[in-house]
Amino acid sequence: MTNKHSTANKIKAKLAFHNVSDPDALKVFNMALAGLKGNPAYPNPPVDLALFEKGIESFATLITDAQDGGKKAISAKDKQRVAVIKMYTLLGHYVELACNDDLATFNTSGFTVVSKTKNPPQPLQAATFQWIDRGPNSGEIVVKVASLIGAISFELRYALVAAGGAPGPWTTLTLTSPRKTTITGLTPAGTYQFQVRALGKLGYNDWSSPMTFICA
């Protein structure tokens, strides 16, 4: 039996203003004001809408005043922004409750609903080496895998190149992070091929193009 009061389907208003510019915040405030004024679905807002409107108008004026870069004007504008956000947040929570989880009613409020759609995982970009260099001792090579957003781990493989130019058997290492790795026990003066791939939520991506390095 479905629980009609389950929080899984609760409508939530978008109330965060991180990385929202002042002009965009002003548009959001005005949308809410227009949606709530005279709206019979929201008869008892916790904030006097006349006070909310006055706060928005003051914020708009201070945005203009702060354009000259004066510290006092910018400080006053930022302070007023915080004050209007507090009123907006109170009104947003009121709308969440008063709409009774009916999206059509919510949409008349001028607020924006928080999307519950999760972005599907995306394929990783190609894994690469940041650099390959000689190790501190003969028979050693140091490799550094480049960082890659979304990578869970990496696989590094290397092989000694035969006289005909084809790589021999591959040796594979698993790296939990793109850290610097020293490979030992290599043949001095031998030519080695290196490749790397990354593991993401969709699995491994393709092996990188081979990089060749001569061991000291």
Residues 138 and 58 occupy one common structural domain: no
- Contact between 209 and 193 under an 8 Å Cβ cutoff? The reply is no
Chain centroid to CA 216: 43
Determine how β-strand 141-145 pairs with β-strand 153-160: unpaired
Domain assignment present for residue 99? The answer is: yes
Please state the rounded mean pLDDT for residues 13-27: 92
Domain assignment present for residue 4? The answer is: no
Domain assignment present for residue 121? The answer is: no
Number of domains in the chain: 2
Please state the rounded mean pLDDT for residues 104-113: 96
pLDDT value of position 118:
73
Q: Which residue has the tokens 């490749």?
A: 195
pLDDT value of position 4:
45
Backbone angles phi, psi at 146, to 5 degrees: -75, 145
Domain assignment present for residue 122? The answer is: no
Residues 145 and 209 occupy one common structural domain: yes
What would the pLDDT profile of 42-64 be if each residue is shown by its tens digit?
999 999 999 999 999 999 999 99
Q: What residue numbers bound the domain in which 137 lies? A: 129-214
pLDDT exceeds 60 at position 114: yes
Average pLDDT of the chain?
Answer: 92
DSSP type of residue 127: P
Domain assignment present for residue 7? The answer is: no
pLDDT band at 157 (very low <50, low <70, confident <90, very high): very high
pLDDT value of position 136:
93
**CA distances to 8, 42, 143 from 116, in Å:** 10, 24, 42
Q: Residue 172: helix, strand or coil by DSSP?
A: strand
pLDDT band at 9 (very low <50, low <70, confident <90, very high): low
